[in-house]
A and B are shown apart, each in its own frame.
Chain A
Amino acid sequence: MTDSIQTTKNLQKPIKGRSLWIDAIGRLRKRKLAMICFGIILFYVFIACYVQVAEWTGSSWPTNWDESTGQKYESPNAQNIFGTDIFGYSILRKVLYGTKISLQVAFFASILSILIGVPMGAAAGYFGGFIDDVIVWIYSTLSSIPYILLILAFALVLKDKTPFGFKLAGATTVYLAIGLTSWVGICRLIRGEILKRKESEYVLAARAMGCSGGRIIFKHLLPNTFHIVIITFSLRFMSFIHAEVILSFLGLGEKDKPSWGAMIDSARLDLPKGYWWEMTAATLAILIISLALNIFGDALRDCLDPKLRTD
């Protein structure tokens, strides 16, 4: 008897609902490794921001990477912990400066690809018909071209152009090239998700209340697919860093400033001579951020998508 009264009382107590996000963060916090990786990512972001601020304020370190801090090809030592390159420049400073370039490129390229991919995917999925046909045709064509070749072609076309009086050079070319070519993946995902959801009750209800297509997409559908955007963002971020490295390695990236790709490119010639430190420093920097992004992105997907939950 008392038990049943207790249960009734419990039932009467309002249950505090948890949103998908709070739920996901709670789950994410339990994963130690993912949190460590998140810390690493924050550290990289901090470095990139620091370098950017230093550049704005005219502070010298580490933007003075083009000052000799020792003899040419000094091996790692107390003064230059990552050693020096052919000109006697500190490799530590180059790596730090490269962090800014790489993260900047990856960030802007991601934003650009989301800005293009998400509305297009949503429009294709929601409206269907002719609009869908056109968008699917565009992305099928783009995705039929090998990715790296496509980026290369875009980078070559965009290089040294001056649209609207703004000269495209170095990092700007790179993130435009990457952003303009890599929206296909996210566009497809969003299209599929919208296709799946557009017949669900809440959408039908909104439609019955006379909401416009735009309102339904932006107010109702997209917020419900946003976890996909976040996951893709974190996973693609890494591939954009790699794309920047490849473009710089091929001489299409930042030409006068150190980026990780450019460092690997120049270290390639030094390696046979036994000067391993520049290559090591740049690859380590890439390795650590790639690993962190990968692990964190995976964890994020697990936590945000309840169907994939493993814990």
Chain B
Amino acid sequence: MDNLVLKRIIKTLTITVLAGGGIYVLSFLLRSGGIPENEVVIYSAIGSKIDSLDPGNIGDTSSSSVASQIFECLYDYHYLKRPYQVIPQLAEGLPSVSEDGKVYTIRIKQGIYFTDDPCFEGQRRELTAADFIYSWKRLANIKYLSRNWWVFDGKIDGLDDFREYTKSCKSMDEVDYSRPVQGLQALDKYTLQITLTKPWPQILYLLAHLPTAPVAKEAIDYYGKSIINHPIGTGPFVLDKWNRGSYIEMVRNKCFHDEFYPSEGQPEDLENGYLADAGKKLPFADRLFFMLIQEDPPMWFLFLQGKLDASGIPKDNFQQAIQEGQTLSRELAEKGITLKTFRNPSTYWIGFNMEDPLLGSNKPLRQAIACCIDKKRYIDLFTNNRAEVADGFIPPLMKSYDPDIKEKGFGFDIERGKKLVEQAKQLNQGSLPVLTLAMPSTDVVARQYGQFYKKSFKEIGLELEVDYMDWPTYLGKMHQKDFQMFQSGWVADYPDAENFLQLFYGKNVSPGPNNFNYVDPEFDKLYERASAMLDTPERTQLYRQAEAMIIEECPAVFLLHGVAFTLHHSWVENYKPNTFQYGLSKFRRIDVEKRKAYRYK
């Protein structure tokens, strides 16, 4: 026993010393670091290790936020405007779409060059339509094993056949990229034509998604497998140093094309100073410094020391940072730190299995459960108030969010819930059995949720059993439809409510994303119609109609929409959070003198 205690003490001490040493080394690095005095540097943290900077194979947010400084896509989101708006980046304008919604013709900006690199043998290398075709065929190449094939899977005419063809090749080098794909044509050097298998307006958002960024064939051929260490893009920055497991440094791309800070935004942007740099050439910084910090405490200390320009708020430091009422604590406000909150495209819920013999056929019961949960208290207890009450599934940041949704939804109302339970009992021959809820975790927070739900159900006379399980078991149960209720949520990939609607589409039932196993032919018809439409007021109307339908049928109790918090120091200008865009460093401006003064103090 004594031995154990001793060992534990030694272990703790070792960890402390190592962590302390790590911070010391990091701070030493930041102080001297070999960074030229007169350069403007942005210091950021990345939370997990980066394996690859090849856009075709990036699947996590840390890698995306780094690689997005180097690569660009055809489209991007407007930095300031809300609701989120897609704008051209490498494209000259929005695509022209054929009558049947299947053929997209996109003009590419002229005079955009890949950054200079030995792989181009001293020549300047201009971006052309063929680069996109090559890059997307590469995603389809099964020998490349891209984790981003889902982007185009089954969507582009002939690209799936190309994938089939690559299966017959023995290695990656054997794949013949000159093999034509019907749906991907370069009409001329700067015109790209995409033919889809069926109308798919959401393609626009995916053309703003990093995996669709163009890469140069010369670079891939030249670097071979080590291309993951040699990102060659068209973006504002280029890789300078990459010390794996420690830091990544980037410098300004000398070949970067002209791009300017936006001159339009939301009405309040002028007041908030986001438009002070309107029309100025981007980027503002000379160098980016990304530190790999996997633990929260050192990241928080470095931020407080002014060695990181911005930071999220670690859970353990939330009380220190934020006061009741969701304002910044005095301690941090006095340091000149600013708090920014922004909405996440997320919704969380308790879902019902509509194939369950009891719940599926008992609408009053489902509605009663929707009435018994005090969502405000839930948010207060479990999210540090980092959320908004959800009445429907479309998050408020989306264009199709219904401002009148509150009237349509089921609010917290115990009396109404009790009445509905009575109706439910009558429907079920006078009594109701114990209900079960599948919880995808066994940890303490899950158990607290469980306690909360049990208590809420009890208020209206229902009995609940909570089944705690690990994630794989939970997924297994979802796939086999072996559950009654479940706690879950969804974070949208792009700002289109279609991404939420598909969760209730009849053809998507488990093991697809429709875990509610909700099937309603009328809803399906509405979904099929709306999801093939371009963004019009009529489509918005259809989305809202579909949402109202779901709320009435109640295959889920919608609990909350996420809100994120982020902090930055006073020397960072133009810091407007953006939940869909990653390559934001080009917009940030740093007041170096202010930072120096803070660090010195």
Contacts and interface: CB of A to CB of B under 8 A. Distances in A.
A266 B444 contact: yes
A266 B448 contact: yes
Of listed B442, B452, B466, residue having the most chain A CB within 10 A: B442
Looking at chain B's contact residues, the main secondary structure is helix
A272 B447 contact: no
A273 B466 CA distance: 27
Contacts of B443: 251, 265
A251 B381 contact: no
B588 interface: no
A255 B466 contact: yes
Nearest to A258: B451
Given A251-B442, A256-B466, A262 B448 contact: no
Nearest to A89: B451
B447 A255 contact: yes
A256 B450 contact: yes
Given A66-B451, A66-B455, A256-B450, A251 B319 contact: no
Interface string B436-464: 00000011110110111011000000000
Given A66-B455, A256-B466, A272 B450 contact: no
Interface in A60-98: 66, 72, 86-87
B316 interface: yes
Chain A, interface size category, equals 10 to 19
B468 interface: yes
A251 B451 contact: no
Interface in A242-285: 251-252, 255-256, 262, 265-266, 268-269, 272-274
A266 B446 CA distance: 10
Given A251-B442, A255-B468, A262 B455 contact: no
Contact of A269 (B317, B444, B468): B444
B468 A251 contact: yes
A269 B445 contact: yes
A70 to B, nearest CB: 14
B452 A268 contact: no
A87 B451 contact: yes
Given A72-B381, A86-B381, A273 B444 contact: no
Interface in B313-339: 315-319
Nearest to A66: B455
A127 B451 CA distance: 53
A274 B319 contact: yes
Nearest to A250: B442
A265 B444 contact: yes
Contacts of A255: 447, 450, 466, 468
Contacts of B448: 86-87, 266
A268 B444 contact: yes
B319 A87 contact: no
A268 B447 CA distance: 14
Nearest to A264: B444
Contacts of B450: 255-256
Of listed A66, A255, A266, residue having the most chain B CB within 10 A: A255
B319 A273 contact: yes
Contacts of B316: 272-273
Contacts of A272: 315-317, 319
Contacts of A268: 444
A158 B364 CA distance: 37
Of listed B381, B445, B451, residue having the most chain A CB within 10 A: B451
B452 A87 contact: yes
Interface in B451-484: 451-452, 454-455, 466, 468
Contacts of B319: 272-274
A197 B582 CA distance: 78
A269 B318 CA distance: 12
A272 B448 CA distance: 18
Nearest to B314: A272
Contacts of A274: 319
B454 A256 contact: yes
A86 B451 CA distance: 11
Nearest to A263: B444
A157 B297 CA distance: 37
A177 to B, nearest CB: 15
Nearest to B381: A86
A256 B442 contact: no
A274 B318 CA distance: 11
B2 to A, nearest CB: 13
Contacts of B442: 251-252
Contacts of A262: 444, 447
Nearest to A251: B442
Of listed B316, B447, B452, B466, residue having the most chain A CB within 10 A: B447
A256 B451 contact: yes
B434 to A, nearest CB: 12
Contacts of A72: 381
Nearest to B455: A66
A251 B468 CA distance: 9
A251 B466 contact: no
A72 B382 CA distance: 12
Of listed B315, B444, B454, B466, residue having the most chain A CB within 10 A: B444
Contacts of B468: 251, 255
Nearest to B464: A256
Interface in A141-172: none
Contacts of A252: 442
Nearest to B454: A256
Interface in A16-53: none
A266 B447 contact: yes
Contacts of A265: 443-444
Nearest to B468: A255
B81 to A, nearest CB: 37
B577 to A, nearest CB: 25
A261 to B, nearest CB: 10
A251 B455 contact: no
Interface in B165-206: none
Nearest to B469: A160
A252 B470 CA distance: 11
A87 B381 contact: yes
Interface in A263-311: 265-266, 268-269, 272-274
A267 to B, nearest CB: 9
A269 B315 CA distance: 9
Interface string A176-211: 000000000000000000000000000000000000
11 contacts: A66-B455, A72-B381, A86-B448, A251-B443, A251-B468, A252-B442, A262-B444, A265-B443, A266-B444, A269-B444, A273-B318
Interface of A: 66, 72, 86-87, 251-252, 255-256, 262, 265-266, 268-269, 272-274
Interface of B: 315-319, 381, 442-445, 447-448, 450-452, 454-455, 466, 468
Given A272-B319, A273-B318, 13 more contacts: A66-B451, A72-B381, A87-B455, A251-B443, A252-B442, A255-B466, A256-B451, A265-B444, A266-B447, A266-B448, A268-B444, A269-B445, A272-B317
Instruction: Please give me the 8 A-B residue pairs with the lowest Cβ-Cβ distance, nearest first.
Output: A251-B442, A272-B316, A265-B444, A266-B444, A273-B319, A86-B381, A251-B443, A255-B468
